[in-house]
Every structure is written in structure tokens, then in C-alpha cells.
Structure 1
């Protein structure tokens, strides 16, 4: 069966043409879907899409405050204010800031939920398209299946486009109800806007880890980045696994600005759990990811 006749609705003479047939070339639809399953919807492409989603879910999201009242000549560089600055902190109304933080947190959760839903719909759509190819090869395609598959194809393509758009779209600005700095009328206040900034997750470089009987050398990187951004702070946790009664579950925490650390004073022939994360900051609105690795020190 090469062609399927389907009812369709035209924008012109809608009522009169409501039952007029539309010709579906099944071999053409089959080839179009097969090309997509071998390229845009291949298993590899779906794995990449899922990895992009995981990176977004593991990333850290921060509230950024920018000046909006500067002259164009002054905007040669991005004027981002840091909430850790004591002057900025003293000017900003804390209740308004907390509302902005809550708004930003909700927007991140909404974005991640939407991306997860789109990813699930794309994978589900691909499975339906694969089933259609199998049915075509068996010669058991009817008009209802062709119509349903055509709709699934268009929806899956749209879901993929929406996913890609959301992955590249700017996360800000946030639509705040009030200015973060209240106008008291005593002096001009800077006009501020808020937006979301994203930083990719921190992951251990497992192949670069080295152990001796009493030390472990750890290295990490920012996922998807080929360069190491300066002035970044990381928090390292060290925990002894299966400790003796004398060790009492030995646990240490330290911070550093480099992308590696040497952990000393460990016991030989012991398992240790190491964790790395970004140091929490006052403008962090969402960040759950902590990378963990278990290593064993060498025996003497």
C-alpha cells in the first residue's frame, strides 16, 4: 500500500472540504522518519540530549544583580553587583531580596521540569516512530496509523526544537514586583535588575587521581569546559569509610581556589569518600549536585 487517503481540514471552505481526502505517500513518510532516526533522533543523539539535561540538573544557578541606570558609554563592561559586597547588601531590602531569590528558585525548578518533560516526550515519540517503521516493513500500516504517526512526527520535531531553544535561551531577566533598593526620596537610587546565571557542575577527573599509603591527590574540572575559570572556590569533604572505633568516622572539610588538592594524614589500606562542590554563596538559588568518589589508600 503506497498511498493512504486521510480526511483533513482546510482553512478555506472549511465545512465543504472537511471530508476531502489528503494523499499521504507512505514510502515518503517512511523514508523521512528513517532519516530522522538515523540522524536527529538516533540513539547517540538521544544520549547527548539526556546528557545535556543531566548537566542542567546538576548545574548551579545564581541570582545576579545588574545596574540599569548607567549611560551607554559606561556600559562597555557588564556592571554586575555582588551581594557579598557590604555596601550593596546594606542598600538592598532583605525581604524584597528573599522574594527575588524565591522567584529565581521557582523559575529554575520550572525550567528543569520542562526540560525533563520535553526529553521524555522526545524519547517516547522516537519509540513510536520506530514502531511505525517496523509496521511499514511488515506491510501492516493503515490510514489511522499513518495519520497518527504524521502527528507524532510533527510533535516530536517541535518538542526537540523547544528543548534546544530552552537550552540556549537566556535565563533572565526576572520580572520583579519591586525594586530591590526602596526609594526613600532622600537620594537617587541605582536602578537594578535581576537575572539568573548558570555554572556547570564540578566533576572529579577520576583518571588523574593518585593515591599513596597516606595521601590522595584529587583533581576536578567544570563539566563541558576546556579552561579553568580563575577565582572559583570549591569545598572538599573527606570521610573515612568503615572506620575503626578509634577513628569515629573521621570527617574533614576544606576549601580551596585551585582545581586540585593533596589530602594528607590518611591511614594506609583504607577506603575514603571524597566529595567536591562549589562553595555556597549568598546569591545561590539552586544547586544540589555534589560529585563523590571513593578511593583506597595503598598498603604499606
Structure 2
């Protein structure tokens, strides 16, 4: 794109001749006249305008088309809801015990807790900066697309050509934004200066080299077709938004709601499950419950900001049917 932009200066050295110019050259009355000169200038300007207009449209279609921006927007929204974790390598280290014998330990089992908390704080700060930058870049790209389209739609030939340097600068700047956007859409490495292992385990050995980076896991979403409530129990089902089928430990939060959908004090509980389904028993008939699902926190989690929730209302005694007993959960 930069080479193409630089190749277009004030005008082509040997522009193709338009029909108006050919007609002008073939007319003896027009030859050398002021009118013919003006006609030539208009023809060259129009050709240059069309060439540069095509360049802008081509850039918008390739770099800032609607589908591409929607893809980046969807990816940003997913990241805003995702869980961010530390990935520390290597996962195991070789150490010496008090008898000077070598043994292998899981790195997280021999870390200095205070240093790990500092690294987690650094990871959280980097994640928050990344997500903020991602939102700002998308806004800049969407605004830039509108501005380039407005130049093409609204500007006449003279105005468009007079603004060409500004348009080139705008496209170059947007190209830089696109490159930055692609880099911040993926979690990166953390530059760590802290020692990670506890001196209790290191003894006289040197601190082994290690690297720390961030990775994400998609949020959990309730399956609203498969989640329902009966009179005294409810069945909840959820899935990972990236369709990951590996089961993980999850926390299901339950809260009893009042008539105005406020949380009723003292009526809440948390259930931990290693599954993507859960049956909640001992509910009150005819009441609304809010259920929230989240991944269970572990020692490498650095950032989470969103959890899916669903409100289900249990059936009341008045609408109970014979099917209630037949479909009650076992136990």
C-alpha cells in the first residue's frame, strides 16, 4: 500500500488520453486555445481523481470492509468475557533436597507465593491495558472507515485531490492500527524480573530459567434450551463459547430473587461441579432464581470480568401436574 501511495504524486507523467483530449487535439480551431488547455487540465484531473478514488475504495475493501471489522469486533467482545491465566514454563524443575539428592518438582508447588502474586498483578494490569487498547483501536478503525468513505462520497474532484496528502496519511495510520490490532488480539508474554521459586527449595542451586505468558479460556454460556425449572428443582446446562468439550471444575451460584428481581438476602449458595450440567434441588415452588456459572478459580487465574446468568422460575403448586413426579431427578 505504501509503495502504491508513493507512486502517485501530483499526477501521472504520461496519462492516458481521454475522449475529450483526442477531440481537442483533432480540432484546428481548438488547438493552442485557452479552452483546449482547460479541457486538458480537467481531463487529467478527472483521470487522477478516478485513479486515487479507486485506490481508496480498494484499501477500504481489503483492510476495513464490514465483515472484517465485524470479525474483529466479535473477537474483542469474546476476549472481554474470557478468563486470562498465567502459563509458566517449564512446568517442572529439578532441585536438590537437604541430602543433596536431585528430585523433580512441579514449579507451582515450589514457587514463592508473594512473588507469584506480583506476577499475577502484572498479568492483570497487562490484560486490562490490552483490552482497553483493543476497544480503542476498533473505534479508530471504524471511524477511519467512515472518514475514507465520506471522502469518496462527498468530495468533488478538486476537494478530493487537494486532500490527497491527508488521505494518504490517514490510510497509513489506519494500516498501523490494523497491525497493532492483530498483535493485541493474542495474549502475549510477560517480562518478568522477579524470582519465582522460593529460596527454601532452591537452597544452593541457581534459579532455573523460566518464562511467563498469558493464555485465555472462553466464557461459559448457559444452554437456554436445555436449562429449565420444575417445582422444587432445576436442571442447568452450559457450554464453552469456543466449543471446547474438555470438562473443567465450575462453580454454579444460586440466588433467590424477590418479586422485583432483587436478590433476597440470605438465600444463596454455591455448588462446585466437574461437569457441564447440574441439578439443583430443594427449591421453593413459584419462586424466581438467578443462576450464574463461572470457571472455578485457580492459582494461575489473573483476570475475569464476566459471567453468564439465567433466571428461571419454579412451577407453583397451582400448576403442578402428574408429570412433576415422573420427571423428578433421582435421589
TM-score band (shorter)? 0.7 to 0.9
Give, in angstroms, the shift of residue 256 of structure 1. 0.8
1:80–1:233: structure 2 CA closer, same or farther, 3 Å change rule? farther
Which shifted more, 285-294 or 93-102?
A: 93-102
Q: Which runs of 5+ in 1 are unaligned?
A: 7-22, 72-78
Query: Matched residues in 2 for 1:260 and 1:5: separation?
Result: 67
> Is residue 65–residue 81 contact of structure 1 (8 Å, CA) maintained in 2?
no
Pair 133,250 (structure 1): closer, same or farther in 2 beyond 3 Å: same
1:208-287 equivalence runs, <5 A: 208-225=226-243, 227-230=244-247, 232-242=248-258, 250-287=267-304
Q: 1:82 to 1:39 in 2, by over 3 A?
A: same
Consecutive unaligned residues of structure 2, counting only runs of 5 or more, are 1-7, 12-44, 95-103, 320-331
Tell me the equivalent position of 2:10.
5
Q: Which has the larger radius of gyration?
A: 2
1:65 corresponds in structure 2 to 88
In the TM superposition, residue 108 of structure 1 has moved relative to its aligned partner by: 1.2
- The root-mean-square deviation of aligned C-alpha atoms, in Å, is 3.2
SS in 1 for 2:185: helix
Cα distance in structure 2, aligned partners of 1:144 and 1:220 = 57
Instruction: Report Cα offsets for 1:11-54 as digits up to 9, x if no partner.
Output: xxxxxxxxxxxx99332332343345456423333222112111
Would the alpha carbon gap of residues 132 and 96 (structure 1) be closer, same or farther in structure 2, given more than 3 Å must change? same
Give the 3-state SS of the residue equivalent to 1:5 in structure 2.
Answer: coil
Higher helix fraction: Structure 1 or Structure 2? Answer: 2
Query: How far 1:190 moved relative to its partner?
Result: 4.3
Is the 2:49–2:161 Cα contact (8 Å) retained in structure 1?
no
Aligned residues: 262
- Is the contact between residue 66 and residue 80 of structure 1 (CA under 8 Å) also seen in structure 2? no
Q: 1:56 aligns with which of 63, 76, 79?
A: 79
